[in-house]
A = this chain, B = another copy of it.
Amino acid sequence: MDSIGFASHDHTRCIASGLEAVDSYCAQNRLQFTAVRRRVLEILLQQHHALGAYEILEYLRQEGLGSQPPVAYRALDFLVKHGFVHKIERLNAFIACMHPGEPHTPVFMICRKCASVAEAQREPMQGQLGAVARAAGFLIERTVVEAEGLCPKCQDPSE
Q: Which A residues have a C-beta under 8 Å from some C-beta of B?
A: 1, 3, 5-6, 89-90, 107, 109, 111-112, 118, 120-123, 126-129, 131-133, 135-152, 155
CA A14 to CA B89, docked complex, whole Å: 30
Q: In the complex, which residues of chain B have a beta carbon less than 8 angstroms from the beta carbon of A123?
A: 128
Q: In the complex, which residues of chain B have a beta carbon less than 8 angstroms from the beta carbon of A144?
A: 89-90, 144-148
Contact B155 A139, beta carbon cutoff 8 Å: yes
CB within 8 Å for A136 and B3 given contacts A107-B129, A128-B127, A141-B149: yes
Contact B128 A6, beta carbon cutoff 8 Å: no
Contact B132 A139, beta carbon cutoff 8 Å: no
CB within 8 Å for A147 and B129 given contacts A136-B152, A138-B152: yes
Q: In the complex, which residues of chain B have a beta carbon less than 8 angstroms from the beta carbon of A121?
A: 132
Contact B120 A136, beta carbon cutoff 8 Å: yes
Closest chain-B Cβ to A121's Cβ sits at a distance in Å of 8
Contact A112 B132, beta carbon cutoff 8 Å: no
Contact B149 A139, beta carbon cutoff 8 Å: yes
Q: In the complex, which residues of chain B have a beta carbon less than 8 angstroms from the beta carbon of A109?
A: 132-133, 136, 138, 140
